[in-house]
Amino acid sequence: MIGTIGTALQFTVPVLSARFIDVVIAKQAAHIGGRLSFLLAVSVGAIWVGVWEARLFSSIRERAALALQMKMFHKTQDMPHLRLLEYDSGHIASRLSADSAMALEILGPVCGLSKLLAAAIGGLIMLPRYSQTLGTCVIIALALHALVIIRLKKRTTLAFVKVSESTAAASKELYDSLTGLSTTKLFAAEARRKRRVYRSAVKRARSLLQARLLMIGASTAGQAIVLAISSGVTLWGSLYIVSGKLTLGGLVGLTTTLTCLLGPLNTGVQQVLGLQSAATGMRKVLEWIRSESESAPATPRPHSPGRARQAPRATARHGDLCLEDVTFSYPGRAPVLRSVNLNVSPGQVVLISGPSGSGKTTLVKLLPRLLRPTAGRIYFHGADLDDYDLRELRRQMAIVSQDTFLFSESIADNIRLGKPDATDSEVRRAAALANALEFIEQMPSGFQTMVGPHGAKLSGGQRQRIALARALLRPGGLLVLDEATTNLDQENEAAIYASLPSARQGKTTLIISHHWQRNYLPIDHHYVLERGQLQEHERISHIFPIEKAL
């Protein structure tokens, strides 16, 4: 609407200019001041509307960018774990930044459509008003200009698809090289990584150059047509003035009208060319947003005959864990877990050991529904996992994995991830139970020490103890330790397990370990997972020698 008003004011300027010049030539001094004042007022009004329009468009664009990026980020968080495994972090980052930015280019043509239509209508009305012959010729030339753009549409679309793909690939290589910088240095592989980054950057540059050359070609063709139109109008208009068919004011009005028309038209041409890039980005954005959600209902599976489904008891803090004939396989691969059955009573401590690749970590990922069983069912607090709200289910679990991840925040903030509203004393107690308090207090800023990207400023053992502290802080009913002490020496490991009985506060505890004899904790049951099958090893009633280990 604002663009239409601005365009209307712009097309008023040529009419007023033509009349003003004719008044000056006719030496009608009485009318010069009034017409000049009116002309200046309209010109200033057109400029003011243009500035207002630009500011409004910028505001709309930035708000749309924020909304779209947050929508895509929320969708990424809600994607199934298996789907996310298909992409690397660089590809995902490219989707959230580059593709969303490309998609927003569609705002230009959409918001400028009314302005372009107003310019086209104004041109069709005003050009023949000065000279029917010249006006008709100009309209034909502009139609030729539009035809050239349409012919280039398909080629630019394909070019921008390649730009999007090469940008994602280049982002992946750059991200991998930056995050793996330490490994690169250790293996003296700087030259190899540099070549990979260079090749991906060159490929992106070439695809971008090809797309831009197509845009330059279209723009050059448009400028050539515009130059031909302007030259033709000037030449023919001069001849018409000599022959008395057109006044000087009429020629000025005609050329000014042409300028008012060509401005929005050239902008429209650039937007149409950019629309191909926007269409590519929008297609990828919609594909991302419409993909499967992690919180979507599970594919129906037969119920276990011996157990009826019950509504989740979200308020329960402690409860049993039951796996019934659980089988899981990754797409296109042999089953990792085969008919696994497990019953853990409330408050029990259960140990699961087994060799690498036996499916222990996969079993752990089934509990918070990062993965879903191919067959069979899992019950927690007496209810099927699929009946739980996903966030409520995960609030009741505290899991420490062997792949510890810390955010680039303070130690306190990383521990509070387990309980965002935890007090300082609760954070301190959790750190003490994880045997982390001593090294934290030796840090320059204590709990406010920044850990760096991925916890790079800490050792592997320190990172693992902070991860354990945030799990112990979490008020859930299930505690899972998946190789949670692999980076610790025997003394620290023994100290942690010695404090675990009081730290877990009656939580059902599942311990995953390669070497069960290194656990210094009373165990209720010990299971061995091998080749995807779970079998009870033996009932353990004795306590491992903590004192001896210490």
Tens of pLDDT, residue by residue, the chain (550 residues): 555 565 555 556 565 555 656 555 555 555 555 656 666 676 677 677 767 777 777 777 778 888 888 888 888 877 777 777 777 666 677 677 767 777 777 776 666 666 667 666 766 777 677 677 767 777 777 777 767 766 766 677 778 778 877 887 887 788 778 777 767 776 778 888 888 889 989 998 998 888 888 877 777 776 777 777 777 777 777 777 777 777 777 777 777 777 777 767 766 666 666 666 677 777 878 888 887 777 655 555 544 444 444 444 443 334 489 999 999 998 888 899 999 999 998 888 888 888 888 888 899 999 989 889 999 999 998 889 888 888 888 888 888 887 788 888 899 999 998 888 889 999 999 898 888 888 999 988 899 999 887 788 888 888 888 988 888 888 878 889 888 777 677 777 777 777 777 766 778 889 888 765 544 667 888 898 888 888 887 644 344 443 333 3
Class of the CATH domain delimited by 2-288? mainly alpha
Would you kindly state where each structural domain of the chain is located, as residue ranges? 2-288, 321-549
Distance between CA atoms of residues 368 and 39, nearest Å? 71
Q: Give the whole-angstrom CA distance, residue 11 versus residue 4.
A: 11
The residue written with tokens 């289910």 in the block is: 393
Q: What is the DSSP letter of 95?
A: I
The pairing of strands 525-530 and 533-538 is antiparallel
HSE at residue 413, side-chain half, CA atoms within 13 A, is 11
Q: pLDDT value at position 136?
A: 74
Nearest to 21 by CA among 4, 39, 5, 45: 39
| pLDDT for position 19 | 60
Query: Quick one: how far is CA 123 from the chain centroid?
Result: 43
What 436-442 contacts at long range (C-beta under 8 Å, 24+ apart), as own/partner pairs, is 436/462, 436/465, 436/466, 436/468, 436/469, 439/465, 440/411
pTM over 0.85: no
At 348, which amino acid appears?
Q
**Six-digit token string for 436:** 């982390």
Say how far apart CA 549 and CA 543 lie, in whole Å.
Answer: 12
- Helix, strand, coil percent values for the chain (each to nearest 5): 65, 10, 25
Domains 2-288 and 321-549 share a fold: no
Q: Tell me the C-alpha to C-alpha distance, in Å, between residue 359 and each of 66, 329, 351, 527.
A: 41, 10, 14, 13
How far CA 417 is from CA of 79, 427, 467, in Å, comes to: 21, 10, 9
What b/e sequence results for 269-307 when a residue is b if at least 16 CB atoms lie within 10 Å of its CB, and e otherwise? bbbbbbbbbbbbbbebbeebeeeeebeeeeeeeeeeeee
Residue 295: what pLDDT? 65
Q: Which fold is adopted by the domain 321-549?
A: Rossmann fold (3.40.50)
